[in-house]
Structure 1
Amino acid sequence: MASSADPRPPATTGRRPPALVYRGPAALPGCPEAVAALLAAGPWRMDVRYVGPDEALPLTAASLDGALLYAQPGGGGLDEAYRHLERHREAMRGYVRGGGRYLGFCLGGYLAGSGPGFALLPGDPDQYITSPDATVHDERDTIVEVAWRGRPRSLYFQDGPYFTRGDAPGADVLATYPNGTVAALTARFGGGRVGVVGPHPEATDDWFTDVGLPVLHTRDMGVDLVNAVLA
């Protein structure tokens, strides 16, 4: 999926509530760094801090308390990732229910569901590649077409999920795949909000070049997703 980027956290201001980005065994190298770079730039210039078992800041209810948002980046298999994160399930649910923001990219979108995951979404994610009339049929690194806010766009993709809205109010679809399934959405959970995306709007140039794909500039969609989850 992603190649390793500069392992140092982006420069931070220390003046605002931090944005926490998970980095550890439930993510792949390069994925946390790409999410952190998106959050540290954009229109917000967030105070980004990594959390995880080998970071200075562990993932705990105490570290989540007061965070502007928590971001779960892309990674490997869902079951393996959840084994590393299961003990944080109630802390994550309590954080979002109490007004926090959860941002999930690809694997982070799967983990926002309940099969297994943090159970933050009104419906449950599933593999886009297994959905009827999917335009991608295997787990290779590729490009997928979506309609983002009704406009045709292309994004980096590697076995990402699609999402269902369930019957909960307050769900806002940002993007759909060509077969009509949901590629990105935000939804309320208690007093907080969850934003998830199946493809990778945060992908950096090296993600594309490392697997022989043409470079796409898609961070504007990442900005839109973050703005929607912060709204």
Structure 2
Amino acid sequence: MSGAALVYRGPASLPGCPEAVANLLAVSGWFDDVRYVGPAEELPLTADALGRASLYAQPGGGELRRAYRRLRHQAPAVRDFVHAGGRYLGFCLGGYLAGEPGFRLLPGDSDQYIASPGASVRDERDALITIRWRGRPRQVYFQDGPYFDLDQAPGSVVLAEYDNGLPAAVVCRRARGVVGVVGPHPEAGPDWFTDAGLPVPAPAATDLGLDLVDAVMRA
């Protein structure tokens, strides 16, 4: 066990996204406590709260600039947490927020996969896409997630790639901390697919989400 994990829940996320991330962290075996933070939660997102945690997770949500307006005052605390040795885990919008405008945690930036050359998805609708995770093809839930355009940095590992070769999941060192980001949603439960009218993949991608957590915690 590695102490507490904090998951953002609030106006810079969408219902279901924080809960899916919290469920993933709870079954990962790494944490003895998983708690939500946010403006309407018992625990606000502050430097003090982060200082008592080993990982902070930013789940999926809506549009990047709108979300960052909600979180801009907390950005220095998140950045300081990582630079001092904390771990950041970002899913979809959380991956965008790891770049700019956002927390500026990446040695590079994030950008829209759907706008990249050769992307198999060209719009913002929910989709089932195939990525290569550690070299193996897997189907995952996707909704306008980012790819990651990173500078060559020591300790950076690309865990997954989209079908056009762009990084879909990355773990990298940042100062004394670690950042893990993923564009698709390996944390998505079966209801995500059925609610969107998509087939439920078999096997589920939960093991990929757990692999990402492991990679962040072991880095």
**One fold, TM greater than 0.5?**
yes
Q: Give how far 1:46 is off.
A: 4.0
1:148 aligns with 2:155: no
1:199 aligns with 2:184: yes
**Equivalent of residue 227 in structure 1, options 197, 202, 214:** 214
Letter matched to residue 109 of structure 1: G
Q: Which residue of 2 aligns with 1:190?
A: 175
Structure 1 residue ranges, 4+ long, deviating more than 6 angstroms after superposition: none
Q: Which residue of 2 aligns with 1:85?
A: 71
Q: Give how far 1:18 is off.
A: 1.1
Distance 2:4 2:59 in 1: 16
For residues 17-72 of structure 1, give each alpha carbon's deviation from its aligned partner in whole angstroms, at most 9, with x where no partner exists.
Answer: 21000000000000000000001113335411000000000000000003020000
**Equivalent of residue 58 in structure 1, options 24, 44, 62:** 44
What TM-score do the two structures reach when normalised by structure 2?
A: 0.96
Letter matched to residue 218 of structure 1: A
Q: Give how far 1:186 is off.
A: 0.4
- Contact 2:3–2:31 (CA<8 Å) still a contact in 1? no
Distance 2:152 2:166 in 1: 16
Q: Which residue of 1 aligns with 2:195?
A: 210
Alignment partner of 1:50: what SS? strand
Percentage of identical aligned residues: 65
Alignment partner of 2:193: what SS? helix
Q: Which residue of 2 aligns with 1:70?
A: 56
Distance 2:2 2:160 in 1: 30
Distance 1:109 1:152 in 2: 21
Q: Give how far 1:214 is off.
A: 1.1
- Contact 2:28–2:213 (CA<8 Å) still a contact in 1? no
Q: What is the aligned residue count? A: 216
Q: Give how far 1:170 is off.
A: 1.2
Letter matched to residue 229 of structure 1: V
Return 5+ residue gaps in structure 1 as ranges.
Answer: 1-14
Q: Which residue of 2 aligns with 1:157?
A: 142
1:39 aligns with 2:35: no
Alignment partner of 1:79: what SS? helix
Structure with the largest fraction of strand: 2
Specify whether residues 151 and 16 from structure 1 end up closer, same or farther in structure 2 by C-alpha distance, changes over 3 A only.
closer
Q: Give how far 1:226 is off.
A: 0.4
- Contact 2:2–2:31 (CA<8 Å) still a contact in 1? no
- Contact 1:176–1:182 (CA<8 Å) still a contact in 2? yes
Letter matched to residue 65 of structure 2: D
Q: Give how far 1:168 is off.
A: 1.9
**Equivalent of residue 122 in structure 1, options 107, 123, 135:** 107
Alignment partner of 1:49: what SS? strand
Distance 1:39 1:218 in 2: 14
What TM-score do the two structures reach when normalised by structure 1?
A: 0.91
For residues 115-171 of structure 1, give each alpha carbon's deviation from its aligned partner in whole angstroms, at most 9, with x where no partner exists.
Answer: x00000011100000000001000000111111000011100000000022132111
1:23 aligns with 2:48: no
Q: Which residue of 1 aligns with 2:83?
A: 97
